[in-house]
């Protein structure tokens, strides 16, 4: 559920319902794979069973793997990253944004008297990693989900992530508690992190709960994505637009042929009483990606249809449902209701 | 929520605003006559079959039907169709098919419909991005394929094999002069211009005066357009 919360916060930031957000949270023992992480190869499943650790997947451009337990503090930053580029000298796209956020973490933890360093991929002390994150981009918007090891059980950490692909070594990571030789109160770290981010980003945070739209979306994201092995194991996710509306993409010729027009009319007819829950997007071949505004959201199925010239098609939540023919009203209605 | 469909359509061939029509009109690409839905002021109409066609089917259909003897005109016409992306491996076989169609219409070589199948099948094997990755642009390969198909060259041939390779290498040399990032339109123009010179020099075949692709019709559609650096920009 926590990863659904993160995605909901990110989507809400993207559509402008909320402002830049920092979320600090703790959750059950878990291994978190990035979108392209391998469920089979990147996790020691035997160790996960032994310690009752769940394996979940976060939306991310990274194939890194995180481990988090009740001794860890997780952070989520959902931010319009465009202004960040002014906060660093020698700006390097993407890397500088990661660097700045990792510097925020390092700055916060330096209050404990530890000489932490940050680079674009990790925060470390004495060359041992103490924090890493899984980033995700949507145009200028960035989601930065990561884990900070405070009193984390590093032996378990090492065991669950140790695979052929990730031959974790005990001398690679550490925790704040181990470095200081004592258990650290998580609440103290939370305060320090907030201050660290505020200083590095030049902002002031206000405490706020989730808005209603986010809460609704969390429930939906959990139901259609994060609770399913289709996502957690196979990394296949439904295509949801904006705040998670069920999306019907109709790909047609330019100008639409008679068959394309019939298809469009049929879709309009079928969704007429579902307008609040369904978004229909009509894409015309050859008209470019900006047919629906400056931040296009297209499913990979639509890109495939365009690349392979499968036309016309109806794609529901990223799944190609009807191709090169006009389905019956009943079939389309059923497919749509199944997707809601 | 349904996003409204654009109800104003611009002609793919001349960009002019199209008007509704119900007349029987000839397709400007394949020549098929059918009842039109939208026609532009210049009389351009694209039939439903061509609008739905995949790039390879479109190229074959148009090249089979055309009576044009200018390969550049055929290539530009094809590239204006929405099925042909700004950049992509479609250009590799588009070059060969446009050349073969013009050669056939000039009555040179023995070129039947199967020539287009051969050219498409061979051109498809050249990957997108081969220019940067292999050092061989697919449009140049397309020129080599056209010569090979026209002369029935194989790896066992003597002169025909050499001619195919010479044609491809001359086109490649011209394309290389343009610089990068790649532009499949500029490469296509350069490939066809080079091929026209090659066919005249080696076979005594003169295409009609080639359509001048300048200023490039596609420049505003190309995010990575080379601008003044490109010989076809203005």
Q: Looking at residue A251, which CATH number applies to its domain?
A: 3.40.30.10
Is residue A272 predicted with pLDDT exceeding 80?
Answer: yes
Task: Mark whether A34 and A130 lie in a shared domain.
Answer: yes
Boundaries of domain holding A329:
240-339
Model pTM score: 0.81
A54 upstream amide cis, omega within 30 of 0: no
Interface check for B220 against chain A (CB to CB < 8 A): the answer is no
Q: What confidence category does residue A206 fall into, taking pLDDT thresholds of 50, 70 and 90? A: very high
Of A255, A281, A312, the CB nearest to B9: A255
Is A254 within 8 Å of B53 when comparing Cβ atoms? no
- B-chain residues near A257 (CB < 8 A): 37, 48, 51-52
Give the start-end residues of each E strand in chain A. 21-25, 30-33, 54-57, 65-68, 72-80, 117-118, 122-125, 128-138, 141-149, 240-241, 245-252, 278-284, 313-316, 319-323
Six token digits for residue A16: 């402008």
- Across the interface, whether the CB atoms of B1 and A264 are under 8 A apart is answered no
Q: Find out whether B210 and B192 touch, Cβ atoms under 8 Å.
A: yes
Dihedral (C-alpha) A162, A166, A171, A173: value to the nearest 10 degrees? -90
Count of other CB atoms within 10 angstroms of residue A280: 23
Chain A residues closer than 8 Å to B85 by CB: 286
Q: How confident is the model over A116-133, as a mean pLDDT?
A: 93
Q: CB–CB of A317/A247 below 8 Å? A: yes
Q: Are residues A224 and A244 in the same domain?
A: no
Residues of B in contact with A268 (CB under 8 A): 2
Where residue A171 falls among pLDDT bands split at 50, 70, 90?
A: low
Measured over all CA atoms, what is the biggest interatomic distance in chain B, rounded to whole angstroms? 65
B108–A contact, CB cutoff 8 A: no
User: Token match 């041939």: residue?
Assistant: B157
Cβ distance of A271 and B2 shorter than 8 Å: yes
Q: What residues contact residue B221 under an 8 Å CB cut-off, 6+ apart?
A: A288, B86
Mark yes or no for CB contact B18/A259 under 8 Å: no
- Asked if B221 reaches chain A (Cβ–Cβ under 8 Å), the answer is yes
Report CB contact under 8 Å: A311, B48: no
Residues 5-44 on B with a CB inside 8 Å of A are: 5-6, 9, 12, 18, 37-38
- CA closest to A308 among chain B residues: B54
- For B166, residues 6+ apart whose C-beta sits below 8 A from its C-beta are B198, B202
Same domain, A88 and A224: yes
Q: How confident is residue A102, by pLDDT bands cut at 50, 70 and 90?
A: very high
* pLDDT computed for residue A290 by the predictor: 83
DSSP A165: S
Q: Are residue A335 and residue A299 in the same domain, yes or no?
A: yes
Residues A219 and A327 in one domain: no
Give the span between the Cα atoms of A97 and A112, in whole angstroms.
25
Residue A228 and residue A266 in one domain: no
Look at the block and give the residue holding tokens 């739209």: A213
A326 in the same domain as A180: no
Residue located via tokens 């140049």: B140
- Residue B13: list chain A partners with CB under 8 A: none
Rounded Cα distance between A236 and A225, Å, is: 9
| Alpha-carbon gap: B2 to the closest alpha carbon of chain A (Å) | 5
In a 13 Å sphere around the CA of A47, the CA atoms on its Cβ side amount to 16
CA distance A124 to B130: 42
Residue A162 scores a pLDDT above 90:
no
pLDDT along chain B (234 residues), means of 10: 69 94 95 95 96 96 96 97 95 98 94 96 95 97 98 97 98 97 97 97 91 94 93 95
DSSP SS3 for B9: coil
Domain boundary among A232, A264, A294: A232
- Residue that terminates a domain, selected from A203, A232, A261: A232
Pair (A196, A304) in one structural domain: no
pLDDT more than 70, % of chain A: 99
CB of B32 within 8 A of CB of B47?
Answer: yes
Give residue for tokens 């904006």. A242
Of A10-24, A157-171, B91-105, B136-150, give the lowest mean pLDDT range.
Answer: A157-171
Share of chain A above pLDDT 90, in %: 80
* Contact yes or no for A286 and B82 at CB 8 A: yes
Q: How far is CA A121 from CA A34, A64, A101, A127, A307, in A?
A: 14, 10, 10, 13, 34
What is the distance between the alpha carbons of residues A130 and A145, in angstroms, rounded to a whole number? 14
**CB–CB of A335/A329 below 8 Å?**
no
C-beta atoms of B82 and A280 within 8 A: no
Find, in chain B, the residue whose alpha carbon is nearest to that of A252: B52
More confident residue, A36 or B97: B97
Q: For residue A56, name the pLDDT band (cuts at 50, 70, 90).
A: very high
For residues A194 and A84, state if they share a domain.
yes
CATH of the domain at A21: 3.30.930.10
Sheet harboring A72-80: ordered strands across? Answer: A21-25, A72-80, A141-149, A128-138, A122-125, A117-118
Q: State the DSSP string of B120-143.
A: HHHHHTSPTTHHHHHS--HHHHHH
Is A276's CB within 8 Å of B55's CB?
no
Q: How far apart are CA A3 and CA A60, in angstroms?
A: 11
Gyration radius of chain A's alpha carbons: 22
The residue among A232, A265, A280 that closes a domain is A232
What does the pLDDT read at residue A111?
Answer: 92
Query: Cβ atoms within 10 A of the Cβ of B53, count?
Result: 23
- Confidence check: pLDDT of A250 > 90: yes
Partners of residue B5 in chain A, C-beta under 8 Å: 256, 264, 282, 284
Find the farthest-apart pair of alpha carbons in chain A and give their distance in angstroms, rounded: 74
For residues A247 and A203, state if they share a domain. no
State both tokens at A190: 């939370």
The answer to whether the peptide bond before residue B207 is cis (omega within 30 degrees of 0) is no
Q: Does the pLDDT value for residue A146 go beyond 60?
A: yes
Taking CB atoms and an 8 Å cutoff, what residues of chain B touch A311?
52
Q: What's the pLDDT band for A287 if we cut at 50, 70, 90?
A: confident
Q: What are phi and psi of A298, to 5 degrees?
A: -125, 140
Quick one: pLDDT at residue B3? 56
Say if the Cβ atoms of A282 and B37 lie within 8 Å: no
Q: CA nearest A289 in B: which residue?
A: B221
Q: What is the ipTM of this complex?
A: 0.86
CB contact under 8 A, A245 and B1: yes
Residue A195's SS3 state is: helix
A45 with A91, same domain: the answer is yes
| Residues A9, A127 within the same domain | yes
Q: How many domains does chain A fold into?
A: 2
Task: Provide the pLDDT for residue A170.
Answer: 65
Across chain A, mean pLDDT equals 93
DSSP secondary structure letters along A270-333: HHTT-TTTEEEEEEETTS-GGGG-SS----HHHHHHHHTT--SEEEETTEEEEESS---HHHHH
CB contact under 8 A, B37 and A255: yes
Antiparallel, parallel or unpaired: β B19-20 and B38-39: antiparallel
Q: Please tell me the distance in Å from A315's CA to the nearest CA on chain B.
A: 14
Using alpha carbons, list the distances in angstroms from residue B88 to A90, B215, B220, B227.
Answer: 35, 21, 17, 20
pLDDT of residue B4: 56
The DSSP call for residue B10 is B
Peptide bond into B215 cis (omega under 30): yes
Nearest to A59 by CA among A105, A11, A100, A23: A11
Instruction: Tell me how far the alpha carbon of residue B107 is from its chain's centroid.
Output: 20
pLDDT for position B2: 54
């Amino acid at each position: 559920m926590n990863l659904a919360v993160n995605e909901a916060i990110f989507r809400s930031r993207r559509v402008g319902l909320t402002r830049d957000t920092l979320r600090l949270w703790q959750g059950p023992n878990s291994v978190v794979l990035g979108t392209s992480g391998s469920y089979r190869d990147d996790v020691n499943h035997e160790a996960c069973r032994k310690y009752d650790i769940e394996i979940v997947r976060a939306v991310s451009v990274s194939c890194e793997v995180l481990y988090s337990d009740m001794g860890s503090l997780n952070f989520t930053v959902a931010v319009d990253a465009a202004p960040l580029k002014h906060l660093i000298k020698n700006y390097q796209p993407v890397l500088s944004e990661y660097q700045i956020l990792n510097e925020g973490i390092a700055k916060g933890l330096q209050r404990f008297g530890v000489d932490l360093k940050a680079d674009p991929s990790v925060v470390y002390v004495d060359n041992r990693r103490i924090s890493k994150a899984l980033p995700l981009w949507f145009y200028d918007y960035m989601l930065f989900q990561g884990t900070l090891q405070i009193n984390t059980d590093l032996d378990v950490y090492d065991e669950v992530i140790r695979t052929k692909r990730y031959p974790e070594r005990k001398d690679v990571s550490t925790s704040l508690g181990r470095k200081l030789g004592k258990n650290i109160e998580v609440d103290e770290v939370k305060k320090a992190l907030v201050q660290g981010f505020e200083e590095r980003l030049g902002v002031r945070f206000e405490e706020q709960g989730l808005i209603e739209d986010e809460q609704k979306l969390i429930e939906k994201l959990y139901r259609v994505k994060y609770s399913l092995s289709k996502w957690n194991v196979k990394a296949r996710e439904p295509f949801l637009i904006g705040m998670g509306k069920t999306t019907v993409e109709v790909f047609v010729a330019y100008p639409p042929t008679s068959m394309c027009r019939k298809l469009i009319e049929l879709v309009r007819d079928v969704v007429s009483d579902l307008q609040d829950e369904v978004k229909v997007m009509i894409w015309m071949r050859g008209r470019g990606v900006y047919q629906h505004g400056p931040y296009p959201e297209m499913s990979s199925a639509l890109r495939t249809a365009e690349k392979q010239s499968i036309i016309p098609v109806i794609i529901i939540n990223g799944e190609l449902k009807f191709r090169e023919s006009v389905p019956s009203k009943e079939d389309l209605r059923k497919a749509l209701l199944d997707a809601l | 929520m349904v996003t409204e469909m654009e109800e104003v359509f611009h002609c793919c061939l001349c960009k002019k605003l199209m008007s509704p029509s119900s007349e029987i009109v000839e397709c400007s690409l394949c020549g098929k006559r059918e009842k039109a839905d939208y026609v532009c002021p210049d009389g351009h109409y694209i039939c439903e079959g061509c609008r739905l066609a995949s790039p390879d089917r479109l190229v074959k259909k148009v090249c089979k039907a055309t009576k044009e003897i200018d390969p550049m005109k055929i290539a530009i016409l094809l590239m204006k169709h929405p099925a042909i992306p700004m950049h992509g491996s479609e250009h590799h076989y588009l070059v060969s098919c446009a050349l073969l169609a013009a050669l056939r219409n000039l009555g040179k070589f023995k070129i039947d419909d199967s020539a287009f199948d051969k050219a498409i099948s061979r051109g498809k094997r050249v990957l997108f991005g081969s220019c940067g990755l292999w050092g061989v642009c697919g449009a140049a390969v397309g020129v080599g394929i056209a010569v090979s198909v026209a002369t029935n060259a194989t790896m066992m041939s003597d002169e025909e094999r050499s001619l195919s390779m010479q044609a491809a290498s001359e086109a490649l040399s011209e394309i290389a002069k343009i610089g990068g990032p790649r532009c499949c339109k500029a490469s296509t123009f350069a490939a066809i211009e080079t091929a026209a010179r090659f066919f005249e020099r080696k076979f005594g075949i003169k295409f009609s005066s080639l359509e001048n692709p300048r200023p490039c019709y596609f420049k505003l559609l190309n995010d990575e357009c080379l601008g003044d650096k490109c010989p076809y920009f203005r």
